[in-house]
Structure 1
Amino acid sequence: MKIALVSEHTRPLAAHKGEPTCGGSVHVSALARQLARLGHRVTVYTRRGDADLPDRARMGRGAAVAHLTAGPPRRLTESESAEHTGAFATALSEALADDTPEVVHAIGWTSGLAALSAVRRSDAEPAPRVVQSFHSLNSAEQRAGLPRRTDRVRLEAALAGRADAVVVTSAEQRFELARMGVPRSSVGVIPFGVDTEHFSVEGAAASSPWRRRRDERVRIVSVTRLGAGGGADALVETMARVPEAELVIAGGPAREDLAIDPDARRLELLAKEHGVDDRVTLSGAVDRKELPRLLRSADLFVSAADYDPYGGAVLEAMACGLPVVARAAGGVTDAVLDGTTGLLLRYARPDALGRALRQLAADSTARTAFSIAAADRAASRYTWQRVATETERVYRRTLPREGDLPLAAGDDAH
């Protein structure tokens, strides 16, 4: 099968090289490579966000990324991005005319707009089938306190209604689409995945080049952005309530740029204000090839993000055998089994986080049980191989000759 993955604002090549990047980029890169391993020919179409990026690059046998010119060759803000989706749709239409796929899988609402436009312009017979996924849904973001985008809510509902198939990463997203009028039966749930060969319990564990671990302290790790919505402020404040632990926050700019980053400076001042600066370390962005070593050096993983549609960092921690304490939002709610692989909290306030972290910090037996269950759940349900296989079934269902196959093997399998 010839497949086009359309993801306008991600950086799949960076994710393929193991550079720090967003969850969407990791998703697209991993899915493309695993679909190629199933024997398909996959091209990822994304907007050129850097003048030095090649027109086309391989990501492995059968998988490639094509960078389309649409707007300035630099990273754009969300408001700037919308101005160039039309140009991206035009470039995508031309690219698909030259190399017409059987399935066009759009990931993200702007990508969906571009994909539908490109397919409408196509004169191929039969026309490519369109599968729609969402990085996130604004209706779910609103529930987490993020800004309301009425135009986006309307467009997301329209895209879900017009696509030949819809795939979401969590039961929460399917619920939100049902509230918009999209039948639950037409929406497949296929979660975000994790590379369990790279993120695993077995392997080296090291705190270097981060602050040396003190053996008498429980080490807690979080992988999150340092700015608004990432929960880093709450985590720093929480440490005053967990005196027996130390915290490493991985995220933000490169380590060498932390000194001039306003979010990092704010967190450092907050740590001093609460008297925990000797127990809180900001590591900066960590290369994905190094991240498992940092995770394996820890005893617990914590997430206080306002909204995490994927839950990718949580899954990677679970695959490394870390019990998880996290706010129940987005993909995290499906990934973490409360009381089995970790603890889910309704709110990520310092008092609630502190109680949960103290509970696990003081109970090594519970941590061991959660660790075993977390690694097993990641390996049994969330491998990228399984994600790709379930996605392939969705594609085949859209094709006329395979119309009697079920929507998705992963539907409701949580």
Structure 2
Amino acid sequence: MKIAMVAEHANPLPAHKGEPACGDSVQIAALSRQLAKAGHRVTVYARRHAPDLPERSRMGRGVAVEHLAAGPQRRLEEGAAAEHTGTFARELGERIAEDRPDVLHAFGWTSGLAAVSAAQAAGDEGGRPRLVQTFHALNAAEQRAGLPERTDRARIEAAVAGRADHVLVASADQRFELARMGLPRDRVSVVPSGVDTDHFSSEGGTSADTWSPRKNGRLRMASVTDLAADGADVLIATLRRLPDAELTLVAGPAQVELPLNDDARRLELLAKEAGVDDRLSLTGPLDRKELPRLLRSADVYVSGAAYEPCGGAVLEAMACGLPVVARGAGIVNEAVLHGTTGTLLRQARPDALARAVRSLTAEPTMATAYGIAGCDRAASRFTWERVAAETERVYRRACPEAEGELPYAAGDGAH
């Protein structure tokens, strides 16, 4: 089966040393490799965001990445990238007309918009490829979590969902929002992101002294967060309420030079004003090879985010054996079992987060049990192999005419 993945904003190629890949890039790289192992041929189409990127690159056996020229050759914020989606769509349409896929799988709303346009153009020349759309976040769901309304994006998301043959979402609340938009339930599947449980595991080194030596036996909290988001501010306010704790913040997902970054300086000033600057460590982005070691050095993973669309960091923490404290929204509701692998809160407020951390860590046996259960849950429910098998089943539903020609993923009732 020929699969075209459309990820205008992502870069699934191996990242440079010290530059972690964003959540979408990690998902697309892992998913495409697993599908190739199952016998499919996958091409990933992304926007060229750097001049040194090759036009076409082989990422592994059965997987190729093509970079399309659309806009400036540098990384852009979502809004700026959307301005070049029309150009990206035209380039994409030309490529899939030359090498027509069976399935066109788009990730995110801008990629979905480009895929709808490209699929329509390809249909004018022959059979239209089946369109599968993945939404990690819907603005309608974000609004319910208290995030800003983005009218244009919400409108485009509804239009793309209506044109897709099948829609994948990461959580049940997003499926609910699509049902409110009028999308039939049989056209929507919940398929979460995954985690590499060979790399992120409870086994291995635990020292994080390279970044933040533990002092005076303090409780160590860890979090991977966007420094510009409100969640980082919330965690600093939480730290003020936990005088015997320290916090390690890993900046993500973008590359950040901490000494030159306005958000990093703002957080450092906020921590100083709160009197917790000696207990806060900002690491900047970490190479993904280093991240498991840091996570294993912590006692608890804490998220101050109002909404976690992908939840990759939460899954990675669980796989490393950390109990989780976070707001129960988005994929966190799918990943964390309240009272079993962590604590879910109605709101990610400093007082509530601090109480939950104190309650959890006051019972070391319970915290250990949560960590063990989280590690087991990550390995049983969120492996990339299982995510790829569930995605492949969606492809079969979208392409019933090709059912007899499709290979089966390992562990999926193979013939």
| Structure 1 and Structure 2 fold alike (TM over 0.5) | yes
Contact 1:16–1:59 (Cα < 8 Å) also in 2: no
Deviation of 1:224 (Å): 0.5
Pair 1:112-2:99 in alignment: no
Offset from partner CA, 1:228-264 (integer Å, 9 cap, x none): 23x1111111112112211101115999932222211
- 2 CA distance for matches of 1:249 and 1:308? 16
Deviation of 1:185 (Å): 2.5
Query: How many residue pairs are counted as aligned between the two chains?
Result: 404
Match of 2:73 in 1: 73
Pair 1:292-2:292 in alignment: yes
Match of 2:154 in 1: 153
Contact 1:15–1:25 (Cα < 8 Å) also in 2: no
Equivalent position amino acid for 1:346 in 2: R
Equivalent position amino acid for 2:207 in 1: A
Match of 2:215 in 1: 214
User: What is the alpha-carbon root mean square deviation over aligned residues?
Assistant: 2.0
Contact 1:219–1:247 (Cα < 8 Å) also in 2: yes
Pair 1:9-2:9 in alignment: yes
Contact 1:16–1:26 (Cα < 8 Å) also in 2: no
- 1 CA distance for matches of 2:77 and 2:25? 16
SS across alignment from 1:89: helix
Match of 1:234 in 2: 234
Offset from partner CA, 1:253-295 (integer Å, 9 cap, x none): 9999322222111211222222222211111111111100000
Unmatched runs of 5 consecutive residues or more in structure 1: 406-414
Deviation of 1:305 (Å): 1.0
Contact 1:196–1:383 (Cα < 8 Å) also in 2: yes
Offset from partner CA, 1:163-201 (integer Å, 9 cap, x none): 111111111110111111112222011001000010001
Pair 1:271-2:258 in alignment: no
Q: Tell me which moved more, 303-312 or 267-276.
A: 267-276
Offset from partner CA, 1:120-170 (integer Å, 9 cap, x none): 111564321111111321111222333222222222112112211111111
SS across alignment from 2:277: coil
SS across alignment from 2:20: coil
Equivalent position amino acid for 2:185 in 1: R
Contact 2:223–2:302 (Cα < 8 Å) also in 1: yes
- 1 CA distance for matches of 2:141 and 2:235? 23
- 1 CA distance for matches of 2:254 and 2:47? 24
Equivalent position amino acid for 1:187 in 2: V
- 2 CA distance for matches of 1:281 and 1:203? 22
Residues 139-218 of structure 1: pairs in structure 2 closer than 5 A: 139-214=140-215, 216-218=217-219
Contact 2:23–2:253 (Cα < 8 Å) also in 1: no
Offset from partner CA, 1:318-348 (integer Å, 9 cap, x none): 0000000011121111110011000011111
Match of 2:35 in 1: 35
Contact 1:325–1:342 (Cα < 8 Å) also in 2: yes
Contact 1:107–1:132 (Cα < 8 Å) also in 2: yes
Contact 2:225–2:253 (Cα < 8 Å) also in 1: no
Equivalent position amino acid for 1:259 in 2: P
Deviation of 1:78 (Å): 2.6
Pick closer, same or farther for the CA change 1:239–1:132 going to 2, 3 Å: same
- 1 CA distance for matches of 2:162 and 2:136? 17
SS across alignment from 1:145: coil
- 2 CA distance for matches of 1:269 and 1:332? 30
Equivalent position amino acid for 1:57 in 2: S
Q: Tell me which moved more, 36-45 or 249-258.
A: 249-258
Match of 1:408 in 2: none
Equivalent position amino acid for 1:390 in 2: E
- 1 CA distance for matches of 2:383 and 2:33? 13
Contact 2:168–2:191 (Cα < 8 Å) also in 1: yes
Equivalent position amino acid for 2:278 in 1: D
Residues 211-360 of structure 1: pairs in structure 2 closer than 5 A: 211-214=212-215, 216-229=217-230, 231-251=231-251, 257-360=257-360
- 2 CA distance for matches of 1:16 and 1:379? 28
Match of 1:59 in 2: 59
- 1 CA distance for matches of 2:347 and 2:253? 27
- 2 CA distance for matches of 1:301 and 1:252? 15
- 2 CA distance for matches of 1:2 and 1:255? 33
Offset from partner CA, 1:78-105 (integer Å, 9 cap, x none): 3322221111011001111221111110
Contact 1:100–1:124 (Cα < 8 Å) also in 2: no
Match of 2:410 in 1: none
Pick closer, same or farther for the CA change 1:367–1:155 going to 2, 3 Å: same
Q: Which runs of 4+ in 1 moved over 4 A?
A: 14-18, 252-256, 402-405
Pick closer, same or farther for the CA change 1:256–1:116 going to 2, 3 Å: closer
Equivalent position amino acid for 1:226 in 2: L
SS across alignment from 2:42: strand
Offset from partner CA, 1:65-87 (integer Å, 9 cap, x none): 11000111111233322221111
SS across alignment from 1:140: helix
Q: Tell me which moved more, 380-389 or 123-132.
A: 123-132
Contact 2:119–2:128 (Cα < 8 Å) also in 1: yes
Q: Tell me which moved more, 75-84 or 310-319.
A: 75-84
- 1 CA distance for matches of 2:193 and 2:325? 19
Deviation of 1:354 (Å): 0.7
TM-score, normalisation: structure 1: 0.93
Q: Tell me which moved more, 139-148 or 370-379.
A: 139-148
- 1 CA distance for matches of 2:237 and 2:12? 35
